Amino acid sequence: MKYFTIDEFKCSCCGDVVMDPDFLTMIDLSRGEAGVPFRITSGYRCRKHNTEIGGATHSAHVTGHAVDIACSSTAHRYKIVKTLLSNGFNRVGVSAHFIHVDNDPALPCNVMWTY
């Protein structure tokens, strides 16, 4: 990866990191094309941690197919979402402070939601 270290994707509970290689390639490519920093606030989550923070039962974080990216600038939010979609991501959640992105093949695709 050019723009990330594997440590950025570690579970904050146990330190494990089990990320899908295709996801990592796509997120790295997206970061390069967006031209703005991607600060990962949540990457891989072990099941224990996901449960403790109230994560979705079938969260893509526990399969290594998701990250949350900190974002508070509307211009950066636009650039990030635009490049995520153009690089093949098909599941995006947007809030005022972060963007969730995943490509979990077990979950419905071509969806976007707000928090």
In this structure, are strands 111-114 and 98-102 parallel, antiparallel, or unpaired? unpaired
Residues 12-36 pLDDT 10s: 999 999 999 999 999 999 999 999 9
The mean per-residue pLDDT over the stretch 36-60 comes to 96
User: What are the structural domains of the chain?
Assistant: 6-114 (3.30.1380.10)
Residues in the chain: 115
Asked if 61 and 40 count as a contact pair (C-beta separation under 8 A), the reply is: no
